[in-house]
Structure 1
Amino acid sequence: MTQLDQQVARRLTRFYVLALTVIAVLSLSGLLFIRRTLSDHYDDSRVVNVAGRQRMLSQRLTKLALLRTTEIPATDTASFAALLNTWNQSHRQLRDGMLRMEKEYLVRKSRRIDQMLTQLEPVFESMYRNLVRINTASTTPEQKKAALQTVLRAEPLFLEQMNAIVFRFDQESFERVRALEQIEWVLTVATLLILLIEGLLIFRPVVNHTKDVIRKLTESDEALRQSNAQLNVANTDLENANRQLVITQRELLWATEEKYRLQIAEENSRSAGLLEGQEEERRRFARELHDGIGQMLTGLKLHAEKLKAVPFPEPKHRERFEELCTLIYDVIQTTRQTSHNLMPSVLSDFGLGAALQLLAEQTTRSSGIPVSYEGETEGKRLTPAQEIGLYRIAQEALNNAIKHAEAQQITISWHRDGTQTTLTVEDDGKGFTQKAGPKKDRPPLPTNGLRNMHTRARLLNGELTITSKRKKGTNVTVYSTDTRNA
């Protein structure tokens, strides 16, 4: 751009900004005048309404005073005291120049209205005092009649003067609106003149300059089209490359997800096989304990029972023999308990509910901690895998509560709702904070047991949640679905 073009551009810019500024100032001034006048007119209308209401209230109060003095029954249920108070407050607010209703309204009064309100004041005070006297319970009937006569004499004068005040308020409000109209006409004419000057001194030079710019733009348009054609070819190639890249990313994502699903399936299969092998080994070892060592210990007990009839040379030998018999009995009971813990026969014979109830009773006897069972003991059976899985979770949770929780009460509950089963082991022990690291004065958390419980719950297509707070106890809950009936 040459120096002349720069000078013309700066001059046109100054003119244009100046013209727009003047137009904006005129427009904003008109808007402000209109908003202010509308607000004032709204206040004036409320003032006129309140002034007109004063006439109605004076007539209504006079009627009520007449009915009250003559003791004629009236259907008007309005409170005489409330109407009198409203009439008094409105009069004084009109006189003071500020109405206080839902908000404050300014009473714009001229000197003439102030004079009219001053002339009205004695009439109002006379009516108000006598109306108050009529409303007072201690006033005698003769005093009420005298007060009523005063009110009836003052009411026509009050209405006449109040009517003149209302019309005066309305007239002054109308005069302010007409003054606004004149100001609005002045602003409109000034705005039109500014627009005309802008069109002659700014718009036409701008149009000529724009024509020159458009000509130059037209000359460079062809070169731009050629560049765009080349860019379109490049964009097409880039889109094809991006499309191929997206396809490759999708295939890679699918392959990764498939690999992850296979890993999960393999892990579940490995875990299921490992747990199944553990359970099978437990069954075999439980049978060995029961059928092998258990039978041998039972035979040993029977032989010992036969030896009780044999006389002993010394009482000390008899005492040792009794201790030996007691030890044999304890070993038999321990062997049976161990065999039952490895694979309880009641689980396969009577189901999960009976096995959990027996587990609670045996744990109470062995540990001395009260363990209660709530739930079903008979009914439709679950699958063997579900029953042994839920039983092992309950057994592990109960073992953790006894070893680590220092609980005073443990509750095992198992409920079914259709295909949904819920197993809960809850204690009132010291609990633990799952996110905190182990401390020296606190035993380590049974992480292996928790991991085993989560694995068993996952293999049952269920969900295991552990809720625990320090000194608030621990709650272990398993939600599982009977896929056989789902």
Structure 2
Amino acid sequence: MRATDRRANPTQRRTFFTTPVATSTTGPLRLTRLYIATLLGLAVLLTVGQLITQWQFDKFQDELWIIRYTALQRHQSQQVAKKALLLSDQHDPAAFRQTQKSLQNTFETISKYYRQGQQGILTEPSRTIANSDSVKLLYRAVQPHFDGLQAGTRLLTELRGPDDLRTEAGQRGLKLILANETAFLERIDAVVRQYTHELRQKLASLQRFEQYLYLLTLAILTAIAWFVYRPAARRLREAVAQLVAAEQRTTEANRKLTSVNTSLNKARQQLVESAKQQFQLQINEQKSRTAYLVAGQEEERKRLSRELHDGLGQMLTAIKLQIEGLEGRLANGAPVETNLQPLKSLITQTIQEARSISNNLMPSALSDFGLMPALRVLAEQHNRLAPGMVTLEADRWLMDPHAARLAQPVEITLYRVTQEALTNAIRHGKATHIGIHLFEKDQYLHLSITDNGVGFKTQRLSKEPHGQGVHNMHERVKLVNGTFKLTSVPGKGTKLKVSIPYHSHALTHDYDKTNVS
């Protein structure tokens, strides 16, 4: 029916092949975001660099003003000494008072600039800068000479006339000015040099910052060119090439439409054949699985037959012989009390053997109490023969007798796998210690069985008789949607791990003992 529909609508099928597929916008969108991000980063970087540079330039201008104030102190200190000497040569009272006033104004100017420079205060613009420790130390060295100039100036400006210059106060004031003028000039020169040195260091730091900013800007521009413009150009070329190739493909697709129809018919036939083969493979696999199960059942029947014949049958035969002997003694009138005790012991052994066979078919602990009690009984049976051979560990909730029961198939599967693994480890692996660990993790119930036996190469399982038992365990686990893993190294023992989806059921279990066996 589908093949007929395809042949009936060739136009629709042609439309399917020639419809262009929408191009994904993920690439261009990513490039756009990257382009915007790089430009924003570059703008922010340049803005921050410009703000830092302007801020540094403002600080440099403030420091230049401070240097100017300090340099003016040198000039003014020379003017103070010059006016003090000029004052000593004045004999006219009017000229004397005018020179005193000029001296006082000059020193007030020096005092103003000195205080501003010492405290880092600027009047134009009105701001304050922080002097370095070196500058503060130099100003402390200047302070005594400044105080000397101030004291000498005060003494000279307090004179009343030219005649007072010859007094002790006049001569002392002139000596103070002349004695401190040179030292004050040298110390102020040291302050100017320190200011200049610090300014040069800051200019060098700003120059390095500008260089780093320049290099970083170049790196960002290079990154934009490499990661944005280059991919964009490549994508543009690819888009043009794709358009040309799309036109060619459209022409080629129309030309190949007839051959595609033929190929579709062939593909349909191949699909049908493949489905048949797959179905046949599933049937063969199911047959193989069924054959393994039947073989396992036959093996179990043979084992049960041997146990009945070699164990229970022999004991019943011995009981029959004991009864026949007892019957002969009764017929002859001989005493029979001495033969009853061996007969009772033989009957007791027969009962125990019958119970053992029944327990192997379906343990009563498994049907009545659940998985963990059955595993304990199984471990105790082996430990009675060899103390400490089997150790059993489980999560606390599994050991709780009041916990919810597991699903019936899960309990049977885990018990039978453990039973078969213990038999193989003792019979074929010659193990002296076997560890059983049952725990729940990630909604799976995990059974791990490890022994210290001789181990073997797992490739031998398909060639040796006991490989049938491993396969039966594997099939049992697959029936409950579990996973089965067996690892073994010659001389280092064997480890078996089973993982089954975990679902607890608080239901009464009613086992079909015939199917379980």
After TM superposition, the score normalised by the length of structure 2 is 0.42
After TM superposition, the score normalised by the length of structure 1 is 0.44
